[in-house]
Chains A and B, each alone.
Chain A
Amino acid sequence: MIHASSPAHPAPVETTTGLNNRKLLMWIFLGSDCMFFGSLIATYLLYRGKSLVGPYAHEVFNIPYTSISAFVLLMSSLTMVLALSAIHRGDMRGLKVWLLATALLGTVFVGGQYFEFTTFVNEGLTLKTNLFGTTLFVLTGFHGAHVTVGIIILLSFYLVAARGRLKPEQHLNIELAGLYWHFVDVVWIVIFTVVYLTETPNIVT
């Protein structure tokens, strides 16, 4: 087979648009993911207030609690930006600190979600109880899964950086992880607004 004689890192291929292939891929993936969350949110909205039995949204939601965890997740977008700016400056120590901080804030959010789910279950709301339980757990659960994947990506980069194997020239990796992370945050803003802040009374009783 044909291969270059030596370079492990071939010169970056020039693209037609000038946009890096992987960055374009990430944007298109996020567009696709919009359709994914869009369909889940549409399902939630269609079934909102149509549960046959309780518990209903207003009986189990703890808005202040969830607001705090939403705030934690939003702050993680800030630390993500700081991580990217650190690697752009070549500050690998800063990169590691902020990567870890972002992953930590994400973990607090997911932990908070786990605790919230447990509370709901204790109050009698499960996947099977009613439409509210079904749609709530599946929608927020898939968002939580996205955050978890993000945490794994961030920790992986942290480990690679900690072993000194991430070079400042490879900042695109952090940029792409950041794109994903911010997207997942934005999706939470939508879910938080739609699910928690604009809950409607149940109309089927």
Chain B
Amino acid sequence: MAAVSGALPRWLQRPTTYSGLWGWVVTVDHKRIGVMYGVTAFAFFLVGGIEAVTMRLQLATPANTLVNPDTFSQLFSMHALTMIFLAIMPLSAAFFNIIIPLQIGARDVAFPRLNALSYWVFLFGGLLLNAGWLFGRSPGAGWFAYSNLTSGPFSPGSGMDYYVLGLLVLGTASMAAGFNFVVTIINMRAPGMTLMRMPLFTWMTLVTSFLLVLAMPVITVALIELGFDRFAGTNFFRPEGGGDPILWQHLFWVFGHPEVYILILPAMGIVSEVLPTFSRKPLFGYPVVVLSGVFIGFMGWAVWSHHMFTVGLGPIANATFAITTMFIALPTGVKVFSWIATMWGGSIEFKTAMLFAIGFIVLFIIGGLSGVSHASPPADAQQQDTYYIVAHIHYVLFGGSIFGLFSGMYYWFPKATGHLLHEGLGKLHFWLAFIGMNITFAPMHWLGLDGMPRRIYTYNSNMGWDFWNLVATAGSLLIAVSTLVFLWNVFTTMRKEKDAPADPWDGRTLEWSISSPPPIYNFRTIPNVYARDAFWHQKYVEGSDGRPRPVPTGGATAHSEGHEAAESPHDIHMPGLSYFPIILALGLALTAAGIMIHLAVVAAGVLITFFGIYGWAFEPADPE
């Protein structure tokens, strides 16, 4: 809704402070929101890590009694939920926020207040999902929450209520972010930046945003139905009322498989930026990499039943989904070859960001191959519900997504903060994480093939699983140490002077053409884009030997035209700050939490939500 002109009541006026803590609460600046996303998500990443290490300690020795089975169920459920919804997705969102407007040459996202709303809703949703640790109990039926484990008699108490309501709130945040970035990338590109000139990270963000927008409604409906079953006594997933628990599985995985690509595509985009930069070569086969990303986005909708091979859907369904699943490995393989070919013959610089990118490729290949092995229903019937699957998902989600995200952190940290992370500590972090990750998760392949089931809280010593479990636990401690090294690196770096140049890596894309950190308006003059790798072509021309030569300083560059027309920073119009995103987010979260607490809380939440929406709609475009 539009701002409506006229004299305004005091409470409707825009805040004007940009300093202090308050400045962060009312900010609509995409870079600040990105930093808040990053910090919050990393805090949740640590929580999920503590849950993981606790489980590994419990499993270190047979018949261990560190935690009881009930706590163990809550630990593995919350570990997955936290890592997926509160760590990987929002860490990706942090990069969308900080980097996308810079890469496409924009001054902000299309809807700055909606962007702030996404963050606050995510924060409150994350707290709601975790509230079970303090009040009542946490969800304990796995992140997939198969029905009818989740109905009242099998999941008494508040655990699954936190699951339903927390994920509903988080889904709202994801959809809002998805809407925003689809519109931003389609509509806010600098002149000349055609689709096929967009940086790969921007492309993968676009595909991910479409997946968010289309996949989250499906899980929303599944959660609403489960919520009705739990709160209103309906029959959606209750066999005694005629309901079919398999429906949950279908709805969940129709969302869940696109979700897998929501988790991995941003990391693939990051790696596709880092590899060319540190190989000093353009990405090999750019159009093919783009198209395979888009193709993955489409095909991701046609494979969901590979999570249900052992349900008994019949040979035709199983064969169909086996074929589509094996087929979707093709575009992924194409990308891997493009990355390797990008490095081939390049002058490679082994900075930490590059090490993590190479680590991503190595680990993702291993995870991808084990994944293809359970695309075959007979093989899957053996691997289903064993540690083999645990090994697979951690190779693709930790070795893949998290390594890709760490690569992005080292790569873009100077751009976001103005500080260069310490390379020595960075390399130590990489090697500890890489070795620790393999010591933890490689043995799970053998444990799984040896029949060790997932989600068991302990095992007997006569099963022959003792040794590799102890090894895996030792590896997990190494991963924990590597994360501490990273935290130490960030901590000491932030205490030092800002020393990052605008373009520390000799980058290729537009974000490196402006200062680190960028001014609030990003680009003083919106750049004109004449080629893929726009910034590279501002800096280099191809010499007669085919190698890049720097553009002579002061030399004529058609690419920097428009400098005379540079606007004075004071004339650049930036969106006004706003209270209403956090108010509206609070209202939504309170409404959801109220369903568990009391109808009066719901009413209060709805009132605050309405207040937030109307304030949002009627506040002026600028402070008066």
Task: Provide the A142-171 mask, 1 if CB < 8 A to any CB of B, else 0.
Answer: 100000000000001000100001110010
Q: Is B4 interfacial (CB-CB < 8 Å)?
A: yes
Binds A, one of B46-54, B210-218, B450-458: B210-218
Query: Beyond A1-B16, A8-B621, A16-B187, is A32–B573 a contact (Cβ under 8 Å)?
Result: no
Decide: B3 and A32 in contact? CB cutoff 8 A.
Answer: no
Decide: B241 and A52 in contact? CB cutoff 8 A.
Answer: yes
Decide: B228 and A138 in contact? CB cutoff 8 A.
Answer: yes
Decide: B3 and A2 in contact? CB cutoff 8 A.
Answer: no
CB distance from A90 to the nearest CB of B (A): 17
User: How far apart sit A23 and B228, CA to CA, in the bound complex (Å)?
Assistant: 33
Q: Is B622 interfacial (CB-CB < 8 Å)?
A: yes
Q: Is B497 interfacial (CB-CB < 8 Å)?
A: no
Decide: B621 and A130 in contact? CB cutoff 8 A.
Answer: no
Decide: B111 and A128 in contact? CB cutoff 8 A.
Answer: no
Decide: B183 and A21 in contact? CB cutoff 8 A.
Answer: yes
CB distance from B298 to the nearest CB of A (A): 14
CB distance from A42 to the nearest CB of B (A): 8
User: How far apart sit A8 and B573, CA to CA, in the bound complex (Å)?
Assistant: 11
Closest partner residue, chain B, to A35 (CB atom): B217
Contact residues of B between 184 and 233, Cβ < 8 Å to A: 186-189, 193, 213-218, 220-222, 224-225, 228, 232-233
CB distance from A44 to the nearest CB of B (A): 11
CB < 8 Å neighbour of B233 from A21, A35, A127? A127
Q: Is B569 interfacial (CB-CB < 8 Å)?
A: yes
Decide: B621 and A1 in contact? CB cutoff 8 A.
Answer: no
Q: Is A66 interfacial (CB-CB < 8 Å)?
A: no
CB < 8 Å neighbour of A134 from B4, B189, B236, B620? B236
CB distance from A67 to the nearest CB of B (A): 27
Q: Is A40 interfacial (CB-CB < 8 Å)?
A: yes
Q: Is B110 interfacial (CB-CB < 8 Å)?
A: yes
Decide: B18 and A1 in contact? CB cutoff 8 A.
Answer: yes
CB < 8 Å neighbour of B187 from A21, A40, A160? A21
Binds A, one of B133-141, B243-251, B461-469: B243-251
Decide: A131 and B241 in contact? CB cutoff 8 A.
Answer: yes
Decide: A43 and B179 in contact? CB cutoff 8 A.
Answer: no
Closest partner residue, chain A, to B110 (CB atom): A21
Decide: B3 and A8 in contact? CB cutoff 8 A.
Answer: yes
CB distance from A54 to the nearest CB of B (A): 12
Residues of A contacting B614 in the complex (Cβ-Cβ under 8 angstroms)? 156
Decide: B179 and A39 in contact? CB cutoff 8 A.
Answer: no
User: How far apart sit A28 and B492, CA to CA, in the bound complex (Å)?
Assistant: 43
CB < 8 Å neighbour of B5 from A32, A50, A165? A165
Interface residues on A, range: 35 or more
Decide: A8 and B577 in contact? CB cutoff 8 A.
Answer: no
Residues of A contacting B182 in the complex (Cβ-Cβ under 8 angstroms)? 24, 28
User: How far apart sit A32 and B178, CA to CA, in the bound complex (Å)?
Assistant: 10
Q: Is B369 interfacial (CB-CB < 8 Å)?
A: no
Q: Is B65 interfacial (CB-CB < 8 Å)?
A: no
Contact residues of B between 551 and 590, Cβ < 8 Å to A: 569-574, 576-577
Q: Is A71 interfacial (CB-CB < 8 Å)?
A: no
Closest partner residue, chain B, to A21 (CB atom): B110
Task: Provide the B104-133 mask, 1 if CB < 8 A to any CB of A, else 0.
Answer: 000000110000000000000000000000
Contact residues of A between 20 and 52, Cβ < 8 Å to B: 21, 24-25, 28-29, 31-33, 35-36, 38-40, 43, 46-47, 50-52
CB distance from A177 to the nearest CB of B (A): 9
Query: Beyond A9-B5, A138-B224, is A29–B179 a contact (Cβ under 8 Å)?
Result: yes
Decide: A4 and B242 in contact? CB cutoff 8 A.
Answer: no
CB < 8 Å neighbour of B577 from A1, A36, A156, A160? A1
Decide: A25 and B183 in contact? CB cutoff 8 A.
Answer: yes
User: How far apart sit A8 and B2, CA to CA, in the bound complex (Å)?
Assistant: 12
CB distance from A119 to the nearest CB of B (A): 20
Decide: B521 and A2 in contact? CB cutoff 8 A.
Answer: yes
Decide: B213 and A25 in contact? CB cutoff 8 A.
Answer: no
CB < 8 Å neighbour of B214 from A31, A131, A173? A31
User: How far apart sit A202 and B273, CA to CA, in the bound complex (Å)?
Assistant: 57
Residues of A contacting B214 in the complex (Cβ-Cβ under 8 angstroms)? 31-32, 35
Decide: B234 and A2 in contact? CB cutoff 8 A.
Answer: no
Residues of B contacting A172 in the complex (Cβ-Cβ under 8 angstroms)? 2
Decide: B621 and A10 in contact? CB cutoff 8 A.
Answer: yes
Decide: A8 and B221 in contact? CB cutoff 8 A.
Answer: no
Decide: A32 and B213 in contact? CB cutoff 8 A.
Answer: yes
Residues of B contacting A142 in the complex (Cβ-Cβ under 8 angstroms)? 224
Q: Is B623 interfacial (CB-CB < 8 Å)?
A: yes
CB < 8 Å neighbour of B574 from A2, A25, A130, A167? A2
Q: Is B534 interfacial (CB-CB < 8 Å)?
A: no
Decide: A138 and B234 in contact? CB cutoff 8 A.
Answer: yes
User: How far apart sit A24 and B109, CA to CA, in the bound complex (Å)?
Assistant: 14
Most buried by B among A5, A39, A167, A204: A39
Decide: A39 and B188 in contact? CB cutoff 8 A.
Answer: no
Query: Beyond A2-B520, A3-B576, is A21–B242 a contact (Cβ under 8 Å)?
Result: no
Residues of A contacting B573 in the complex (Cβ-Cβ under 8 angstroms)? 2-4, 7, 10
Decide: B242 and A51 in contact? CB cutoff 8 A.
Answer: yes
Q: Is B6 interfacial (CB-CB < 8 Å)?
A: yes
CB distance from B563 to the nearest CB of A (A): 20
Residues of B contacting A39 in the complex (Cβ-Cβ under 8 angstroms)? 217-218, 220-222, 251, 254
Residues of A contacting B576 in the complex (Cβ-Cβ under 8 angstroms)? 3
Q: Is B175 interfacial (CB-CB < 8 Å)?
A: yes
Decide: A165 and B4 in contact? CB cutoff 8 A.
Answer: yes
Decide: A32 and B217 in contact? CB cutoff 8 A.
Answer: yes
Residues of A contacting B622 in the complex (Cβ-Cβ under 8 angstroms)? 3-4, 7-8
10 contacts between A and B (CB under 8 A): A2-B572, A5-B570, A8-B620, A17-B187, A24-B183, A38-B217, A39-B218, A43-B247, A131-B235, A156-B617
A interface, CB within 8 angstroms of B:
1-5, 7-10, 15-17, 19, 21, 24-25, 28-29, 31-33, 35-36, 38-40, 43, 46-47, 50-52, 127-128, 130-131, 134-135, 138, 142, 156, 160, 165-167, 170, 172-173, 204
Q: 9 shortest A-B CB distances, which residue pairs?
A: A39-B221, A36-B217, A35-B217, A15-B187, A134-B234, A4-B573, A52-B242, A1-B18, A165-B4
B interface, CB within 8 angstroms of A:
1-6, 16, 18, 110-111, 175, 178-179, 182-183, 186-189, 193, 213-218, 220-222, 224-225, 228, 232-236, 241-244, 247, 251, 254, 520-521, 569-574, 576-577, 614, 617, 620-623
Additional 19 contacts, C-beta under 8 A, given A43-B236, A134-B228, A160-B4 = A1-B18, A2-B572, A3-B622, A3-B623, A4-B622, A5-B571, A8-B3, A15-B187, A21-B187, A28-B182, A32-B178, A35-B214, A38-B217, A39-B217, A47-B247, A128-B241, A130-B235, A130-B242, A156-B1
